[in-house]
Each structure stands twice: as structure tokens, then as C-alpha cells.
Amino acid sequence: MVEFSFEKATQTFTCMFGGRMDTVMSGIVSEKFKTELSGLKSKTDMLRIVFDIRGVDYVASSFLRLSLIAAKGVQKGNFSIINADPQVLKVFTIAGLSSLLNVS
């Protein structure tokens, strides 16, 4: 499950994820994310992206890859992952991505 929202005032594109972000779901979400993002990129050059993973209890490497792609698509410091479950945060930490992707 994924829901997207865009706040024009702060130029923030928020993606709210729920459930397991396994390989299959990450692939589906990745396509939806790319479609939504392509519509926003032409409207702003100072876009911020926030992945809210409050409802996520599992992430596969394909979700880590999606996170890296999202982070590379915006200026440094304009990507973050919030509301990570302790077990999911541990995955990002072990992969060496928790500080690079601003995961909390």
C-alpha cells in the first residue's frame, strides 16, 4: 500500500507506505512513485521527498534501492525516511544507509 501527497507550500512530496515492502510490492510501488514524481519534477526545482514508513514492518533490498533512487532525484538533504519501525531502521543501519538517507 502507498499513498502520495504533495504540499505546495513546502514543496514536499510525501509517500506513506504500509505493510511489507517485499520485492513484489516494492516493484509495484516503484512504478507508481516514478509516475507521480515525474509529474512533480517539472513543477518545482526544490522538491523535498519524505517516505513515511510508519506501517512498514519489512523492507527488501528493492525498497532500499527505491529509497536510493528517490534520494538521488533531489538535492542533498531533501530526502528523508520517517517513522521507521526499530527492526526496519536496523536494516537501513546494517546496509549503511541510515545516515545517508536521513532515516528516523
- Note the pLDDT tens digit of each residue in 69-104: 999 989 999 999 999 999 999 999 999 999 889 999
State which CATH number among 3.90.1150.10, 3.90.380.10, 3.40.190.80, 3.30.750.24 fits the domain covering 2-94.
3.30.750.24
Cell of 21: 515492502
Whole-angstrom distance, CA of residue 83 vs CA of residue 28: 22
pTM of the prediction? 0.93
Binning pLDDT at 50, 70 and 90, where does residue 44 land? low
Largest interatomic CA distance in the chain? 36
Average pLDDT over residues 23-45: 86
Domain spans of the chain, in order of start: 2-94
